[in-house]
A and B are shown apart, each in its own frame.
Chain A
């Protein structure tokens, strides 16, 4: 393996094309997907690559997202490296297969271009789709920019195929904000990736092939406790994945010079006493607000969630132990509850620490750096004046009456 930073190619790509580029570099052998906006550019580009012999892969043009996941699942069971991509309603159409794929312990990677759910029809960004699969057994990551969407897609193969993990990986990227927005990125050479990510060992975890070993996967079990044990083993693998994710990005950083950390990235955290938490593309806008507040003397740090599953509880507990206040921004909504991240994080925050969960940016509504800044400033000022608050859900809807 290369231990020094390798020469990379500078490109300008939209997020969807960057994901396709990563799939090509990973030498994926079977791709299957069904078109849904804003994921379409990924599959169109991959179809071009396969047809143009840029990639030695089979593209299975299926009739639904359910079949897309089912067919890459079959390909993985047959020993191939496989990829699918979807969004929103398409992800929900896959739902049953998501669970089957995860509990079958087969390595798979899927890109999820996040999008709101209808009705009404709306193709704009929201994270609720990605968050709705959080209990299924998939490792779930979320990129902040086009470069990271590329890096995470590529690194996911190393994570999912690790014998300590063997759980499928879903990588989210914000619809349109990343999927259709061109950014500069750097891509490593094929030879560099080939030595870092060797071909998949088809016998790990098991191989179903004609005339092969008579292995059976999935028939009923003799005892329910055996089934429960399999759940416990998935949980153990999720725990192992924390370390594997960190190690993978560390070794990737040695090749590329890019290290985002493991499950989270913490920026301006060393001297911070207030923390804001978010994930995805709008973290860039949030960071702008954080930096502006720092200019005004506020000691704010930003914890960006890179992986929702496995859940970064140690990282969150670490900031919670030293913080005066934590504010979580959710671009997702669990009806009858609130923001998913806020709900999950709040349990790790002691009552002596001020807490507020904010719901914003649903259905593609824009949230500007100044909106973030105002909300954070209000939270800090109020905490300083009145002491810790404990609010799990607050709707942030600035400028809603204007149109």
Chain B
């Protein structure tokens, strides 16, 4: 399924005048979701930055049907919402747009439950790697050694690999994506929308104030994450796991940019010294090995 930017819908699904911070990656990602689905979805949004971004009721900048719901509830609310839609003969996509705290921590049980039931949902984890809305506290996906207000000396644990956890729920579709690769992300959403059942897309969405980088670098940071191999774009589609084109060349470690190019631009990694950097690289290699092995295991599809 090839996608051309000039053929994407030009309608404004996200209207101007949002309350997002300058350089907010969530708006970039959400616009891509809406373009992918031509705005014909309904959104379920748990507590987080995206509860604030649409602006103040009685107005909203999200020009699609949207239900804002409590922090831990979105996969369960969406399960009911999609059930009602299907009963009414509406087969359109119900999309959960949730952050890392809602997905990997407080709402994890509900996410696991909805996935285990194989609810007909597209779940997008828009990951800015901490509780940014409440002022940068560490979450389950905050990476090792990252500063947050609740990990002032750097987080002592590794991030939870949410996409791999979801893969083990035996759902039909799991992918990672990045806001810096819209064509890859849009293709994945459209593919997901053709599949019945639970679809999970883990979208990396780096946050300038939360990760402490200049707000003109949002896209650059998301791109560097892929180019240094920190963030691997892959896709599992009904039995077949593949490395996505933007990440394909970085299978070869030599082709990856030095990790420091990604780390040094982010204030949150200020305490990562040369020794820590080596450990970091080993962690990245280990993740790549896991994904490459999985791509051998899930080789044939079906």
Contact = CB atoms under 8 A, between A and B. Distances in A.
Interface stretch (A66-74, A113-121, A242-250): A66-74
Contacts, number: 188
Given A64-B110, A74-B78, A219 B56 contact: yes
Contacts of A78: 80-85, 88
Nearest to A99: B70
A97 B76 CA distance: 11
B80 A77 contact: yes
Nearest to B59: A222
The DSSP consensus for interface residues of chain B is mixed
A344 interface: no
A211 B92 CA distance: 7
B94 interface: yes
Interface in B25-73: 39-42, 44, 51-52, 54-60, 62-70, 72-73
B167 interface: no
A226 B91 CA distance: 35
Interface in A72-109: 72-80, 82, 96-97, 100
Given A58-B87, A210-B93, A214-B62, A71 B57 contact: no
B92 to A, nearest CB: 3
Given A74-B67, A217-B66, A219-B57, A210 B88 contact: no
A74 B65 contact: no
B84 A30 contact: yes
Given A66-B76, A210-B90, A29 B84 contact: yes
Contacts of B81: 74-75, 77-78, 208-209
B112 interface: yes
A64 B75 CA distance: 12
B92 A75 contact: no
A226 B40 contact: no
Interface residues of A, number: 45
Interface string B111-150: 0110011000000000000000000000000000000000
B73 A66 contact: yes
6 contacts: A77-B77, A80-B87, A82-B84, A210-B42, A214-B60, A218-B57
Given A70-B73, A209-B92, 20 more contacts: A30-B80, A62-B76, A70-B70, A71-B76, A71-B80, A73-B80, A74-B76, A74-B82, A76-B84, A80-B83, A96-B73, A207-B65, A210-B65, A210-B93, A213-B65, A214-B63, A216-B57, A220-B57, A221-B57, A222-B57
Interface of A: 29-30, 32, 58, 60-64, 66-68, 70-80, 82, 96-97, 100, 202, 207-222, 226
